[in-house]
């Protein structure tokens, strides 16, 4: 999106505000499907934990996407956005058996990553197809904080426990219709991912009646100029060839599934904030904005990098600024960043704010969560209103302790 569009949205709506470029989302979706165009049965299940606004889900559905969910609430959001239950997969971790049963009753595909839960579910529901999430013990991502394929991960059933899975399946007579893995985010090395895929193929070969193989996602996107990213086209060429070969050996054309989140929405997102003040100290020039880690926690939580641009003065002389928020503790967005000269009232745009940004926002310091706007086909759509004080207190119960209160 160009600066003028972002600036006009900022002027129309109150900052801070999240803006998403629907055209970029569509472009990323088509890039992935084109890379795997030789696959007859390709399924893209958008990982909605990245950005779960129901209008974004509706946009994904319109492009032909399925939905990857991790909670019953995300399942319900998907159904509200118009997804059919059979196009939703539920991949929870550490949830109760009760939650899994409730989701299964809706007709959603169940994905289980725990031997105990697998046995409990299979004993009660032999007729409900189940996918199994394995841990290949391969770290395809570059960040240990967001890699989930390592040996000590809480996610997935270890490949060394495959005999246990087979015993449970044999004893319960349950139907396994899919196998799944997710190695983690920020995949840098295609060959490492393909190595993990071989482990998944080996696992798949042990089940006779599969419908699909789910390779997860975690594709890396660029966060700054010159940054490396996952070569989707190379992955598409190499994995497609191997998948065709496996299906031929297996004797059945299976569905190849992915569950991208960040890949589809990260670069499409911009977080717009207004500069409240410029503060000069003995060694630092702070640009203080009308937001904080209550709205965008990733820099403080993960040390993630978000490019910051001054859309009010994009061609101004560059100076070094440390961009901070208004939260009453350290909430630094970027240290000593080279940004076009900033004045009070300027609008700063944080790039790559589409994934795991609004969905992690909170009401810390009793601040309101911001509005969200979708830009699509040259039109802007407000898809979430800014919160109000009524929203902040709607579920709270005021007890007036200045009056006599009976205690049971």
Residues designated catalytic: 328
Could you give the CA distance from residue 359 to residue 357 in angstroms, rounded to a whole number? 5
Exposure b/e, 358-378, CB count within 10 A at least 16 = b = beebeeeeebbbbbbbbbbee
**By the 8 A CB rule, do 260 and 65 touch?**
no
Tokens of 110: 């169940």
How many angstroms separate the first and last alpha carbons of the chain? 59
Written as six digits, the tokens of 257 are: 């599934």
For 273, the enclosing helix (H) or strand (E) is strand 269-280
Cα distances (angstroms) measured from residue 371 to each of 14, 209, 307, 383: 8, 46, 21, 8
* H or E segment to which residue 34 belongs: helix 22-35
Non-local CB neighbours of 370 within 8 Å, separated by 6+ positions: 15, 16, 17, 18, 291, 295, 358, 361, 386, 387
Within a 10 A sphere around the Cβ of 44, how many other Cβ atoms? 24
Q: What span, in angstroms and rounded, lies between the C-alpha atoms of 299 and 293?
A: 8
Q: Which of 130, 16, 94, 134 is nearest to 370 (CA)?
A: 16
Q: Is the dihedral of CA 334, 338, 344, 347 positive or negative?
A: negative
């Amino acid at each position: 999106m160009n600066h003028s569009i972002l600036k006009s949205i900022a002027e129309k709506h109150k900052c801070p505000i999240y803006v998403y470029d629907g055209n970029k989302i569509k472009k990323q979706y088509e890039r992935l499907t084109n890379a795997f165009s030789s696959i007859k049965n390709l399924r893209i299940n958008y990982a909605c934990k990245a950005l779960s606004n129901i209008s974004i889900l509706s946009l994904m559905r319109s492009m032909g996407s399925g939905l990857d969910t991790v909670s019953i609430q995300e399942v319900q959001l998907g159904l509200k956005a118009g997804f059919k239950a059979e196009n939703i997969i539920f991949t929870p971790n550490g949830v109760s058996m009760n939650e899994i049963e409730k989701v299964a009753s809706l007709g959603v595909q169940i994905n289980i990553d725990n031997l105990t839960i697998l046995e409990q579910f299979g004993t009660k529901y032999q007729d409900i197809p189940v996918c199994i999430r394995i841990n290949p013990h391969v770290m395809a991502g570059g960040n240990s904080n967001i890699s989930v394929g390592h040996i000590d991960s809480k996610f997935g059933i270890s490949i060394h426990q495959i005999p246990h899975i087979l015993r449970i399946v044999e004893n319960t007579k349950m139907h396994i219709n899919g196998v799944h893995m997710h190695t983690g985010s920020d995949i840098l090395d295609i060959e490492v991912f393909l190595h993990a895929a071989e482990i998944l193929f080996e696992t798949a070969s042990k089940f006779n009646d599969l419908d699909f193989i789910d390779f997860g996602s975690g594709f890396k996107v660029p966060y700054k100029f010159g940054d490396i990213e996952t070569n989707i086209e190379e992955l598409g060429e190499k994995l497609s060839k191997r998948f065709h070969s496996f299906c031929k050996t297996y004797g059945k054309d299976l569905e190849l599934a992915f569950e991208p989140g960040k890949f589809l929405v990260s670069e499409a997102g911009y977080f717009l904030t207004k500069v409240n003040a410029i503060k000069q100290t003995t060694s630092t020039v702070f640009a203080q904005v009308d937001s904080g880690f209550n709205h965008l926690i990733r820099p403080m939580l993960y040390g993630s990098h978000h490019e910051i641009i001054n859309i009010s003065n994009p061609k101004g002389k560059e100076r070094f600024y440390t961009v901070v928020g208004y939260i009453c503790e350290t909430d630094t967005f970027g240290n000593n960043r080279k940004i076009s000269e900033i004045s009070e009232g300027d609008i700063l745009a944080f790039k790559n704010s589409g994934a795991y940004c609004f969905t992690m926002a909170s009401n810390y310091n009793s601040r309101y969560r911001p509005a969200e706007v979708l830009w699509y086909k040259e039109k802007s759509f407000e898809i979430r209103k800014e919160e109000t004080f009524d929203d902040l207190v709607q579920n709270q119960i005021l007890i007036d302790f200045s009056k006599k209160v009976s205690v049971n």
